Amino acid sequence: MNKQMKRLYEAAEKVLGISGRGSQAAIGRLIGSSSQKIKNWELREAISKDGLIKLSKALHISIDWLEYGRGPMMAPGAILDAPVASKRSKNKLQNSISEPAAMGTRRIPLISYVQAGHWMDAVNCFLPDDIQEWLLTDLDLPDSCFGLQIKGDSMLPEFKEGDRIIVDPTVEPRPGDFVVAQNGKEEATFKKYRPRGNNAKGRFVFELIPLNEDYPICRSDQMPIRIIGVMVEHRKYRKR
């Protein structure tokens, strides 16, 4: 069994009050999925990105802990006085950051590069009042999406400083996608995604490519890189 699933079962026992593989059906129901999907995660090397986000929100646990075993199990601000399965309404957190606005639009929080670097955990504890600015979009996006304002010139000529993007953490990156990633530093980075396949040790390797050739390429086998989300919208702003 992979380590992520061991941690998931540990969280299920603490939050739901049930233990072992018997919790598969309960976990599936909690995130609107089937017990078979939970079994598939157990057979695979890791839980899917979408699954990590859903589990974090449903169980109020830290994605960083679930995915990597880092930090505390519970998400910042989570208070559990009984299993979620029996008192879910009392324990529900305000972890839906993006909000409905006018009909046909949705408000997406515009955050900093530092916040983006910790977004997988921050989405569980930020409240709407913590957001200084919002972007409106008519895209049908999940609650975990966020906006980012481009800084620097590493992505010229396509992305200029001041442009804004909307990022979806639930989307799996494909070759050529533009992604926001955390590369071991406090801040996030925005680059083009390029998979390189498995290396000699059988580990999947990908690169983060700057469009500006003056900047270096980052490889996941040379430094720790975590994909935070995929860009789903780009807004260009022209200065006069």
Strand-pairing partners, residue 226, are 182
The pLDDT value recorded for residue 227 is 93
The backbone region for 134, taken as left when phi is positive above 0, alpha when psi lies in -120 to 50, beta otherwise, is beta
d(CA 173, CA 190): 13
Task: Going residue by residue through the chain, which has 240 residues, state the pLDDT in tens, using 9 for 90 and above.
Answer: 788 889 998 988 888 777 766 678 888 888 888 888 888 888 877 888 888 888 888 888 888 888 888 888 887 655 454 444 443 333 333 344 555 555 446 788 898 888 888 775 544 445 555 576 888 888 888 878 899 999 999 999 999 999 999 999 889 999 999 999 988 777 899 999 999 999 888 889 999 999 999 999 999 999 999 999 999 999 987 765
The pLDDT value recorded for residue 91 is 37
Domains of the chain: 3-91 (1.10.260.40), 99-235 (2.10.109.10)
Tens digit of each residue's pLDDT (9 = 90 or more) over 22-65: 678 888 888 888 888 888 888 877 888 888 888 888 888 888 88
The pLDDT value recorded for residue 134 is 84
The backbone region for 59, taken as left when phi is positive above 0, alpha when psi lies in -120 to 50, beta otherwise, is alpha
Judge contact between 124 and 78, C-beta under 8 A.
Answer: yes
The pLDDT value recorded for residue 235 is 93
The pLDDT value recorded for residue 196 is 93
Judge contact between 45 and 2, C-beta under 8 A.
Answer: yes
